[in-house]
Structure 1
Amino acid sequence: MDVKRFGITAIDEPDGGLVAALINHEWFGDNYATGPEPGGDPDRHGPYWRERITPDCYDPIDPELAERRLRFWSEQFAPVPEHLTAELRQEVYQPLRAADGIYLLRDIGPDAFHDWGGVHNEFHEFLLVDRTNQTVVQIVAADD
């Protein structure tokens, strides 16, 4: 899992505006397959061409369902070691519970895939809007 935190300076901005700002942020360009450099692939985002992703591609999701999806993804092949469980609890599950709004990037289809966009076996992205802590947290669970 990859977790990125972004500060909110305009806390009165509607969630859609915050999502749009995130999509336009230089760190959003990340294919999650070729390396750890945020912003290192400005034209791609996960399996998709970045230009194909809009705020309308994100659907609200219940925090319990989001957590179940992430737990299933992380535990699908073997139990998560205890030291990683504690890190996931702090970095992923607690922020999920604290968020005012949680959004899931839905599958926008193979027409939006970039030139090698089918490399991910799974790609799950959640955006957490937390106005109390003035952050948007981006959580990506992906494998290739």
Structure 2
Amino acid sequence: MTEIDFIDRTFVNFRDHPFSDGQGHGFRWVDLKAFRFPQDSQDPDLLTAVVAHEQFRDDYAGGGVDPDGSRHGPYWLHAVKPDEYQSVSKVETALVLEEWANQYGCLPDSLEDAL
């Protein structure tokens, strides 16, 4: 299996930004985890390595990463298959993030900048 190294985490909590109604945060966040991987890696190898990595074992229920955990968010790890993922462009990715982030209305400028 391809070896990858976890190098950094960026956590953006919507609650940390001033929504005019005080509720627009919708209990949402973005948790970005960055990995270093060999230059000769192939996409399927990378997905397999990410799904197998302990940083993927975070149920986002407040306990953080559990190296022996069995969940990723609400998903059972045994049901997460790398071949179920599909490639998307940077433009498509940005559009999905923007649509999701703005689902309850406009974002504060500080949150726009953070995202």
Whether these two folds match at TM > 0.5 is yes
Q: TM-score, normalised by structure 1?
A: 0.55
Matches within 5 A, 1:47-86: 47-86=74-113
The residue matched to 2:86 in structure 1 has which SS? strand
- RMSD between aligned alpha carbons? 1.7
Pick 1 or 2: higher relative contact order, CA cutoff 8 A, min separation 6.
1
SS of 1:31's equivalent? coil
One-letter amino acid matched to 1:61: V
For residues 38-93 of structure 1, give each alpha carbon's deviation from its aligned partner in whole angstroms, at most 9, with x where no partner exists.
337710112211011121011111221211111011011021111111111xxxxx
Separation in structure 2 between the aligned mates of residue 4 and residue 26 of structure 1, nearest angstrom:
12
Specify whether residues 82 and 63 from structure 1 end up closer, same or farther in structure 2 by C-alpha distance, changes over 3 A only.
Answer: same
Alpha-carbon distance between aligned partners in 2 of 1:57 and 1:79, rounded to the nearest angstrom: 32
Structure 1: runs of 5 or more not aligned: 89-144
1:3 aligned to which of 32, 54, 60: 32
Structure 1 pair 40–85 and aligned structure 2 pair: CA distance change class (3 A): farther
Larger strand percent: 1
Q: TM-score, normalised by structure 2?
A: 0.67
Q: Work out which of the two has the higher radius of gyration on C-alpha atoms and give 1 or 2.
A: 2
Deviating above 2 A after TM superposition, structure 1's stretches of 4 or more consecutive aligned residues are: 38-41
Residues matched between the structures, number: 86
Instruction: Provide the identity percentage.
Output: 34
